[in-house]
């Protein structure tokens, strides 16, 4: 699952929906870099300019609600965001993130206390999330075994390849 990740927090509210993560007007292109440049622009037109590669998104409830567009996790990855931590995720976004290899963690405590710019550390191996600025650590909600397996393999494509191999 890779080593520890460090980066600064960009905090967001509840119900951050896919229409603001990446507006439909950009969804005729699938290039993550292009999508990344327009990520969250309806929420903050300077989002892309202000964010730094490696930053983490820290959001409230129901992150990624709305459409099924997989351009949403791609745009976040394309913007150079290393990981999304939220109190809760909408279900299609949750699957799309796992499938496309965007790191996500569900954690109420960290989201509650984190402020813009706080330095965070994430251990994908253990799911331990730390706010280094405030010297607090939280365990994220564990993934079901099957989901862990998909993440460990690097997404849904290798998972399907293996499942097809198993069957034959």
Partner 1 sequence: MFNMTITEKILAAHSGVRRVKPGDLVFAKLDLAMSTDITTPMAIPIFEKMGVNHLFDPNRIVLVNDHLVPAKDIASAELSRAMRQFAKKHKIKYYFEVGRSGICHQLLPEEGLVVPGDLVVGADSHTCTYGALGAVAVGIGSTDLAASWALGENWFRVPKTIKVIYKGRLPKWIGGKDLILHTLGDIGVEGARYQTLEFSGEVISKLPMSDRFTLCNMAAEAGAKNGIIEPDEITLQYLKGRAKKRYRFFQSDPDAPYSNLLEYDISHLEPLVALPPLPSDVRKAREVGRITIDQVFLGSCTNGRIEDFRIAAQILKKRKVAKGMRLIVIPASQTVFKKMVSEGLAAHFIAAGALIGPPTCGPCIGGHMGVMASGEKVLSTSNRNFVGRMGDPTSKIYLSGPAVAAASAILGRVADPREVI
Among 1, 2, 13, 24, binds partner 1 (CB under 8 A): 24
Question: What letter does residue 94 receive in the DSSP assignment?
Answer: H
Nearest distance from residue 46's CB to partner 1, in Å? Answer: 13
Q: Alpha carbon of 138 to those of 57, 122, 127, 132, 144: distances in Å?
A: 16, 10, 9, 11, 18
| Residue number with CB closer to partner 1 (7 or 32) | 32
121 is an interface residue for partner 1 by CB under 8 A: no
Nearest distance from residue 112's CB to partner 1, in Å? Answer: 17
Q: What's the rounded Cα separation, in Å, for the pair 77 and 98?
A: 12
Q: What's the rounded Cα separation, in Å, for the pair 33 and 118?
A: 26
27 is an interface residue for partner 1 by CB under 8 A: yes
CA distance from start to end of the chain? 28
| Residue number with CB closer to partner 1 (85 or 120) | 85
- Strand, coil or helix: what is 8? strand
50 is an interface residue for partner 1 by CB under 8 A: no
Among 36, 58, 70, 118, binds partner 1 (CB under 8 A): 70
Token reading at 124: 């994908």
Q: Which residues bind partner 1 (CB under 8 A)?
A: 15, 17, 19-20, 23-25, 27-30, 42-43, 61-62, 65-71, 88, 90-92, 95-96, 99-100, 144-146, 155-157, 159-161, 163-164
């Amino acid at each position: 699952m890779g080593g520890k990740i460090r980066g600064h927090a960009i905090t967001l509210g509840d119900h951050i929906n896919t229409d603001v993560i990446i507006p439909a007007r950009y969804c005729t292109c699938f290039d993550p870099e292009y999508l990344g440049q327009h990520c969250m622009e309806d929420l903050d037109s300077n989002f892309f300019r202000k964010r730094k590669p490696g930053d983490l998104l820290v959001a409230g409830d129901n992150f990624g609600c709305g459409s099924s567009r997989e351009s949403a996790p791609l745009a976040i990855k394309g913007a150079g965001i290393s990981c999304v931590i939220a109190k809760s995720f909408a279900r299609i976004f949750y699957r799309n993130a796992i499938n496309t290899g965007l790191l996500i963690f569900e954690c109420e405590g960290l989201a509650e206390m984190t402020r813009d710019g706080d330095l965070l550390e994430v251990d994908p191996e253990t799911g331990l999330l730390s706010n280094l600025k405030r010297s607090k650590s939280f365990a994220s909600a564990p993934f079901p075994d099957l989901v862990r397996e998909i993440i460990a393999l690097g997404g849904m494509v290798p998972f399907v390849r293996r499942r097809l191999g198993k069957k034959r």
